[in-house]
Amino acid sequence: MKQSPIVRRAISWGLIALYTFILPSAILVYRRLESAIGQEATGKIPFYGVILIGAAYTLYGLLKNRNFTHLLYLIPSAIIAAIILKYEPNPNKHIHIPEYVLMAWLLYAALSKDYQGKGIFILIFICGSMLGVVDELEQGLHPKRFYGWSDMAVNSSSIVIGIFTILGLTRRTSADWEWMKYLRNLRGLLGLILFGMAGALLMCIQLFQVQANEVFWGFYPRWLLVWNILFAATAPAMTFFTLKRQGKSPDAAAERAHHLEHTARLWVYPLLAILFFMQAIPIFIAISGAEFR
């Protein structure tokens, strides 16, 4: 039975949400391996995983494209991976490379079903980097995990690797930026995204104070918590109102206009959902009294 577009989208984004939620738990598998085969051997697993992914990518590209052009995209990917492996001393951080290469592919699978026009890889980078921040925020709540900027940089860099691998295996057709004109119908939500991003940046900075002092109240500003609550309350209401209003748009009668309008929405709704989850973390800490490390 053919799945409806709504069900297909729900499954794709549901997988991304589930994947993001379980990423901090990957360390549990890593620690079990350390106890079973030793720290040195376990530390080499991410490196061999990167090599294995590169080999699989090479073979798949040869079978799919019947040429070697896709290997050109391995050059920048290998450089980025080598920099991470060299300058990140903690070997268990290297597992972020395959994790976020896969994240890039999951985002591409979800977005490319409906995306019409240029800019999809920019959106993948933005969403992937933001989900990398969510991962770090989750780690701050996870037993024996720690919150840090370096992991966010590794996550974003690994998203870039994933994008290069996608570029090497996908065919690109001519496209334009016409979808951008439909953003004018989403001005309110775009303003809300800027408000949420500003709050998320301030929140990420202040949580380092919470982490350093191991106390939330007194080191996380109350005004910023109000900011988080205001965004978390406003985003769902404004999204619902915008969806309801856009459902009556006469542009939906034209198939191309409908697709372009949907592409514009892809630049708004995923970002709002990710920002909502970010803002919910300090609210959860404030209510539950959970420790943040």
pLDDT score, position 259: 82
Task: Taking residues 42-65, report their average pLDDT.
Answer: 84
Say if CB 101 and CB 162 are below 8 A apart: yes
Cα–Cα distance measured from residue 175 to residue 291, given in angstroms and rounded to the nearest whole number: 48
pLDDT score, position 251: 45
pLDDT score, position 26: 79
Same domain, 212 and 154: no
Give the model confidence (pLDDT) of 11-39 as tens digits. Answer: 899 999 999 998 888 777 878 888 888 88
Cα–Cα distance measured from residue 181 to residue 26, given in angstroms and rounded to the nearest whole number: 41
Say if CB 277 and CB 198 are below 8 A apart: no
Say if CB 50 and CB 97 are below 8 A apart: yes
Cα–Cα distance measured from residue 245 to residue 260, given in angstroms and rounded to the nearest whole number: 17
Q: Check residues 11 and 253 and name the one with the higher pLDDT.
A: 11
Same domain, 38 and 169: yes
Same domain, 165 and 184: no
Q: Which residue has the tokens 């800019």?
A: 119
Same domain, 224 and 165: no
Give the model confidence (pLDDT) of 171-218 as tens digits. Answer: 776 788 999 999 998 999 999 999 999 999 999 999 999 988 888 998
Q: Which residue has the tokens 């090497």?
A: 168
pLDDT band at 3 (very low <50, low <70, confident <90, very high): low
Neighbours of 67 (CB within 10 A): 9
pLDDT score, position 108: 96
Task: Taking residues 96-122, report their average pLDDT.
Answer: 93
Task: Taking residues 53-67, report their average pLDDT.
Answer: 83
For residue 232, pLDDT beyond 50 = yes
Q: Could you say which DSSP state residue 104 is in?
A: H
- Domain end call among 139, 174, 209: 174
- Cβ burial, residue 79 (10 Å; 0-12/13-18/19+): exposed
- Domain end call among 174, 203, 236: 174
- Domain end call among 129, 153, 174: 174
How many structural domains compose the chain? 2
Range of lowest pLDDT (119-123, 132-136, 273-277, 289-293) = 289-293
Domain that holds residue 187: 177-293
Cα–Cα distance measured from residue 129 to residue 266, given in angstroms and rounded to the nearest whole number: 16
Give the model confidence (pLDDT) of 129-156 as tens digits. Answer: 999 999 999 888 876 677 888 899 999 9
Q: Which residues contact 78 (CB under 8 A, 6 or more apart)?
A: 54
pLDDT score, position 32: 85
Same domain, 154 and 208: no
CA 67 to chain centre: 31
pTM equals 0.91
Same domain, 4 and 105: yes
